[in-house]
């Protein structure tokens, strides 16, 4: 019987302090933001938003550690960690959630055991677009 071995790519993309990006970012690897992103971020890997980092838009990833500021929905298929310095305004969809004392969160949280594949389903909404969901 053949054994399938999934190798992890150790490439880490890093966006430094003072860098501002307007537009969507898609990668298969881990990414760290210490700069600013206005747009959606989608990866099969881990997302780290550093203390000086900020994202205005939707994030879809496997794991995430937030130390900075996020405004928008975040969908994490495994573990989302909100550090004490983090500020999140938006909805959370994740399998597991860890929140340190001091973290700020305003929005709704949905925790599910379903497979939240980062590349499944519809494309993320563009920043500034109103969601037209019926309630």
State the Cα–Cα distance between residues 107 and 60, nearest whole angstrom.
Answer: 17
- Closest-CA residue to 63 (of 75, 51, 53): 75
What mean pLDDT do residues 93-112 have? 95
Give the pLDDT of residue 64.
97
Q: For the segment 10-69, what is each residue's pLDDT rounded down to a tens digit?
A: 678 899 999 999 999 999 999 999 999 999 999 999 999 999 999 999 999 999 999 999
Per the DSSP assignment, residues forming a β-bridge with 111 are 94
Is residue 62 left, alpha or beta, with left meaning phi > 0 and alpha meaning psi from -120 to 50?
A: alpha
Number of H helices, E strands in the chain: 0, 16
Mean pLDDT rounded to a whole number for the chain: 84
Backbone φ, ψ for residue 23 (5° rounding): 135, 175
């Amino acid at each position: 019987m053949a054994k399938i071995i999934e190798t992890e790519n150790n490439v880490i993309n890093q966006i430094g302090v003072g860098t501002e990006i307007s537009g969507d970012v898609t990668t298969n690897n881990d990414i760290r933001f210490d700069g600013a992103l206005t747009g959606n971020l989608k990866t099969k890997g881990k997302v780290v938003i550093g203390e000086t980092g900020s994202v205005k838009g939707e994030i879809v990833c496997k794991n995430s550690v937030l130390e900075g500021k996020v405004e928008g929905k975040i969908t994490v298929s495994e573990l989302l960690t909100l550090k004490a310095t983090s500020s999140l305004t938006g909805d959370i969809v994740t399998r597991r959630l860890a929140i340190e004392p001091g973290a700020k969160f305003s929005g709704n949280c949905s925790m599910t055991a379903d497979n939240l594949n980062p590349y499944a389903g519809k494309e993320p909404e563009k920043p500034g677009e109103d969601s037209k969901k019926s309630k």
